[in-house]
Amino acid sequence: MNDYPMVKVKNLVKHFDKGIVKALNGVSLQVLKGEIVSLMGHSGSGKSTLLNLISTVDLPTRGEIWIDGKRSSAYKSYEHFRARYIGFVFQFHHLISHLTLLENIEIPMYTLNSSKKARRERALFLLEKVGLSDKKNSFPTRVSGGERQLASIARALANNPEIIIADEPTGSVDTKTGETIIDYLINHCLDNDLTMIIATHNIEIAKKTARIIQLQNGLLSA
């Protein structure tokens, strides 16, 4: 980790339903390159909203977001930006059921116009890293929940992203599998100097990160 802010947000506001629902009410923070932080807070505190704004899945009502020193609004293509910078790990794997695990992992690489050979080699490499080489031709419905989540991690890493966004990544698996998933993500980020933001309700997971950021009612809480 160094002192370079990979993610920086200033006075971030997000309202829904014409201002009736105030999800974020002026959040400012920064996450350094190589830093692993957790977001904690009750349901509805704004954790997922903040992650969606940082990753440009949604746009703020007001406020500024900088990724790697550049305003996210300045990127010409949000899709290309996400493919280049962001790896997503969700509570539910979101794998495509009619594609094999190998094919699912290849999907993000299409956005960056990777060659067929490069996609296949990268997907096979990542499947080996998460211990699923023998499941490469299996469909998501034919593997366990933990294996599906590990495959979704491999997919998140497909384009060598600078930032991992993990929204309740262990919420759909048992405790032991959850520990395996978190430990893999943290070790991968440490080994590759990647930034990771994890939203979680689990204090034991949060304690594994370098810093815990508390959200309450759309604001940072001391």
Domains of the chain from N-terminus onward? 5-221 (3.40.50.300)
Q: 80-94, 111-125, 145-159, 205-219: which range is least confident on average? A: 80-94
Residue 5, pLDDT score: 92
Polymer length of the chain: 222
Q: What is the phi/psi pair of residue 22, to 5°?
A: -105, 95
Q: What is the mean pLDDT of residues 37-65?
A: 90
| Residue bearing the bigger pLDDT, 145 or 1 | 145
Give the pLDDT confidence score for residue 67 in this predicted structure: 93
Phi/psi for 169 (5° steps) reads -70, -15
β-strands 163-167, 86-89: how paired? parallel
Neighbours of 168 (CB within 10 A): 18
d(CA 31, CA 158): 22
pLDDT score for 104: 93
Q: How far is CA 158 from CA 123, 142, 154, 155, in A?
A: 7, 22, 6, 5
pLDDT, tens digit (0-9, with 9 covering 90-100), for 151-207: 988 999 999 899 999 988 776 667 777 788 888 889 989 999 999 999 998 898 899
pLDDT tens sequence across 57-91: 899 999 999 999 999 888 878 888 888 889 988 77
DSSP classification of residue 104: H
What distance in Å separates the CA atoms of residue 191 and residue 198, rounded to the nearest whole number?
17
In the structure, what pLDDT confidence band is assigned to residue 144 with cuts at 50, 70 and 90?
confident
The whole-number pLDDT of residue 172 equals: 63
Q: Are 172 and 16 in contact, with CB atoms under 8 Å apart?
A: no
Output the pTM of the full model.
Answer: 0.88
Mean pLDDT value across residues 105-133? 91
Neighbour count for residue 103 (Cβ, 10 Å) = 17
Quote helix, strand, coil % in the chain, to nearest 5.
40, 25, 35
